[in-house]
C-alpha cells in the first residue's frame, strides 16, 4: 500500500478546514467588516475628488489663516485611513483571530493524520 504524500495530506486538511462552519463564519465576518468600510472610504475619497474638480470655490474657502477646506479634506483622508485600520485591528482581534486560530489548529491536526 502506497503511503499518502505530504501534499495529499495538506490538500485533504485544507479541504476539511474549508468545509468547516467556522471557515464560513470567518469569511462572513471578514466581509461584514470590509465591504461597508471599503464602500464608505471610497465614497469619502470620491467626494474629495469631486469637490476638487467641481466645487473649487468651496474647496478654496479658508478655515483658519491659509488653511483651506481642500487641505482639511486632504488631511482627513489620512486620518480616516488610520482610523479604519485601527478599527479593523480591534475587530480582527475580537472576531476574526479566535476563529482563525481554531481553524489553524484544525488544519495542523488534519495534516498529521
Question: Binning pLDDT at 50, 70 and 90, where does residue 2 land?
Answer: low
**Quick one: average pLDDT of 25-36?**
98
**Quick one: average pLDDT of 4-9?**
85
Ramachandran class of 3: left when φ > 0, alpha when ψ lies in -120 to 50, beta otherwise: beta
Question: Is residue 24 over pLDDT 90?
Answer: yes
Ramachandran class of 65: left when φ > 0, alpha when ψ lies in -120 to 50, beta otherwise: left
Question: Binning pLDDT at 50, 70 and 90, where does residue 21 land?
Answer: very high
- Tell me the per-residue pLDDT of 37-69, one tens digit each, with 9 for 90 and over: 999 999 999 999 999 999 999 999 999 999 999
- Tell me the per-residue pLDDT of 81-106, one tens digit each, with 9 for 90 and over: 999 999 999 999 999 999 999 999 99
> Which of 49-81 are b and which e, b meaning 16 or more Cβ less than 10 Å from the residue's Cβ?
eeeeeeeeeebeeeeeeeebbbeebeeeeeebe
What's this model's pTM, rounded to 2 decimal places? 0.85
Kindly report each contact of residues 46-53 with a partner whose C-beta sits within 8 Å and lies 24 or more positions away, as own/partner. Answer: 48/73, 48/74, 48/77
Question: Is residue 36 over pLDDT 50?
Answer: yes
Question: Is residue 1 over pLDDT 50?
Answer: no
**In the block, which residue shows the cell 466645487?**
55
3-state secondary structure of 1: coil
Amino acid at each position: 500500500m502506497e503511503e499518502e504524500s505530504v501534499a495529499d495530506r495538506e490538500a485533504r486538511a485544507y479541504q476539511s478546514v474549508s468545509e468547516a462552519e467556522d471557515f464560513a463564519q470567518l469569511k462572513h465576518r471578514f466581509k461584514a467588516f470590509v465591504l461597508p468600510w471599503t464602500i464608505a472610504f471610497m465614497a469619502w475619497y470620491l467626494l474629495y475628488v469631486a469637490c476638487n474638480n467641481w466645487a473649487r470655490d468651496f474647496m478654496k474657502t479658508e478655515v483658519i489663516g491659509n488653511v483651506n477646506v481642500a487641505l482639511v479634506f486632504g488631511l482627513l483622508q489620512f486620518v480616516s485611513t488610520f482610523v479604519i485600520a485601527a478599527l479593523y485591528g480591534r475587530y480582527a482581534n475580537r472576531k476574526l483571530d479566535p476563529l482563525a486560530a481554531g481553524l489553524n489548529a484544525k488544519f495542523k491536526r488534519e495534516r498529521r493524520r
